[in-house]
Structure 1
Amino acid sequence: MNQRPCSKVSCNEEAEATLTYVYADSMAVLGPLSYSAEPHSYDLCARHAERLSAPQGWQVIRHVVLGNEQS
């Protein structure tokens, strides 16, 4: 997978998550970094993904990958 920077202005950290907005449902969806950059999504570093908040009345959905930990 290509390394991509965080989409936040002046952040040089490597992206670890992808944020997509579903305007019709007032929803922000945050999941694992997508395989390729998409024009209508935002790649975020771990710090910005953790701090993500949505406007009042919006819902934030956080997808988590299970079973990906190394023993």
Structure 2
Amino acid sequence: MSGRQCSKVACTHDAIATLTYVYAESMAVLGPLSQRPEPHSYDLCTKHAERLSVPQGWQVIRHVVLGT
């Protein structure tokens, strides 16, 4: 349990991932939950991390921790 909740409005689930947008490169980067809250990033629960969608033409980079 991280003690941080999902950033999505009205979601009360625990966050498991951190999402960061790189607007200049039309990219969304989704990785493991950061050690501490980061400005301009969003913490997401499992459901919202799996259902992530981005604007057409954007690229999604998903960093996955192996062996856990």
TM band (smaller chain): over 0.9
Q: List alignment gaps of at least 5 residues for structure 2.
A: none
TM-score, normalised to structure 1, is 0.91
**Secondary structure of the equivalent of 1:29?**
strand
Alignment of 1:1-71 (within 5 A): 2-68=2-68
Question: C-alpha offsets along residues 16-69 of structure 1, whole Å, 9 cap, x if unaligned?
Answer: 00000001110000000000001110000000000001000100111000122x
Q: TM-score, normalised by structure 2?
A: 0.95
How many residue pairs get aligned? The number is 68
Structure of greater Rg: 1
User: Secondary structure at 1:43's aligned position in 2?
Assistant: strand
Unaligned runs of 5+ in 1: none
User: CA-atom RMSD, angstroms?
Assistant: 1.1
